[in-house]
Amino acid sequence: MKECNQVYDLRSALERLRSIPGQLVETDVQVDPAAELAGVYRHVGAGGTVMRPTRSGPAMLFNQIKGHPGARVAIGLLADRRRVAALLDSRPEELGKLLRDSVNHPVEPVLNSGGAPLCQQVVHRAEDPDFDLRRLVPAPTNTPDDAGPYITLGMCYASHPDTGVSDVTIHRLCLQGRDELSIFFTPGARHIGAMAERAEQLGQRLPISISIGVDPAIEIASCFEPPTTPLGFNELSIAGALRGQAVELAPCLTVKENCIANAEYVIEGEVIPGVRVQEDQNSHTGYAMPEFPGYTGPASDQCWLIKVKAVTHRQDPIMQTCIGPSEEHVSMAGIPTEASILDMVDKAMPGRLQNVYCASAGGGKFMAVLQFKKSVPSDEGRQRQAALLAFSAFSELKHIFLVDEDVDPFDMSDVLWAMNTRFQGDADILTIPGVRCHPLDPSNDPGCSPSIRDHGIACKTVFDCTAPFDQKERFHRARFLDVDPAHWVPELFPEV
């Protein structure tokens, strides 16, 4: 794909996609944000772990939203690895390496110095009698079982009460009332959760901004996790490195915090200490929303409460959303994990790990393919060490496939070919039972195995599909003549 206009916000990202055939579709047919919008996009381009039939396809822009005149909703911007590459001026197979390099060369965000930011062109304050978050923000309800309308791509930005260091992460946010949001913090998994806990210990409210509809580089960067980005590392600096230009922030109007200056929407509020919310208090369905493993998660009774102070937005704003189990989650969660594994393993054994793919079937979190090159006899066994390093750092990983450098890690058919021709179940499976993994995998439960003592514990498994180094000569693939097919069929191989 050829690089087109510079991407710096949601609108420029959409313009780039418009210039690339087949990457964006628009409709002026009115759609109901309550389950219908997600139901449409399931067929158009959701992919990922969404129930079949689905597929990976173009991003989509809905221009007529029922109950929200003047608003539009964009979905699926990152729901295809090739599209992510086009938006980040890269190639699909190089994305993990690009993000690894960006982490190592951060560009810190800066405060807006050019007058009123775009995100504050229109201001709605909660003190106004007609203020209603549910009317102002066209947040979709993905399925009829959902607890309510969810903001799925809100860049939550807050600062630590003690140190003042700031961070950005994505959390599930359910609209609960005219000026109330619930926010779910996975215990111990996100920095803003730690900030809220510390503020609660101090008896303080935590100011927070939620920026929606931003540069895709910010959405990808915000999904990095420890140990790559420890508490105190502002992931907006990764987005700055990706663009070669600092992300611009702006002061909020009603709380002492910053927001992303060119966002489409910003919700300003405070996390209230000592209050927990039943997530489905309005719907009573028992469910939250569809999560990345492909199941609808249970509603939590331990969500924190955000009291909303204001909603600001650009003229004719564009809401951005995603379907939880879609390929979009694979891109946002998986590519930063690929970058982190590449960086960690290369520091331990330089030059051996060629690439990493956090595959769609694992939702970007549960499964990784490590492409490993054995060059000398002493490299035998190091491929398994690389898998153990990845497991030790990223607790949510459950399965790792190891393949040689002649196997395409991004093609699961090629990975399974390696499994079928270079793997023996009695010799090449490594199991690590009783290890903490992810609570959203329903099989990580004592009901599924006697080795599991608590929900969220799993048996991590390595599938070593690499050829033994001392037998590599027996495993040469058929070698074809390397030619440029564009000479014969240019319409099938356009310039990239």
Catalytic residues, which ones?
A: 291
Task: Classify each residue of 428-462 as buried b or exposed e, where b means 16 or more C-beta atoms within 10 Å of its C-beta.
Answer: beeeeeebebbbbbeebeeeeeeebeeeebbbbbb
Q: d(Cα 55, Cα 51) in Å, to the nearest integer?
A: 10
Q: d(Cα 403, Cα 380) in Å, to the nearest integer?
A: 13
SS3 at position 90:
coil
Cα–Cα distances (Å) from 295 to 147, 324, 325, in that order, read 14, 9, 8
Q: d(Cα 482, Cα 475) in Å, to the nearest integer?
A: 20
Cis status of the peptide bond prior to 138, with omega within 30 of 0:
no
Q: d(Cα 23, Cα 76) in Å, to the nearest integer?
A: 10
Cα distance between the two ends of the chain: 4
DSSP string, 245-272: SPPEEEE-SSSS-EEETT-SEEEEEEEE
The dihedral region occupied by 22, where left means phi > 0, alpha psi between -120 and 50, and beta the remainder, is left
Residue 219 one-letter amino acid = E
Asked if 324 contacts 152 with a C-beta cutoff of 8 angstroms, the reply is yes
Q: d(Cα 202, Cα 97) in Å, to the nearest integer?
A: 41
Task: Report CA 381 to chain centroid distance, whole Å.
Answer: 32
Asked if 170 contacts 222 with a C-beta cutoff of 8 angstroms, the reply is yes
Q: Phi then psi for 231, rounded to 5 degrees?
A: -55, 125
Asked if 183 contacts 303 with a C-beta cutoff of 8 angstroms, the reply is yes
Among the residues of 76-167, which ranges form H helices? 81-87, 95-104, 133-136
Q: Phi then psi for 327, rounded to 5 degrees?
A: -60, -20
For β-strands 72-75 and 59-62, DSSP reports them as antiparallel
Q: d(Cα 467, Cα 470) in Å, to the nearest integer?
A: 8
Asked if 167 contacts 195 with a C-beta cutoff of 8 angstroms, the reply is yes
Determine what percent of the chain falls in helix, strand and coil, rounding each to the nearest 5.
25, 25, 45
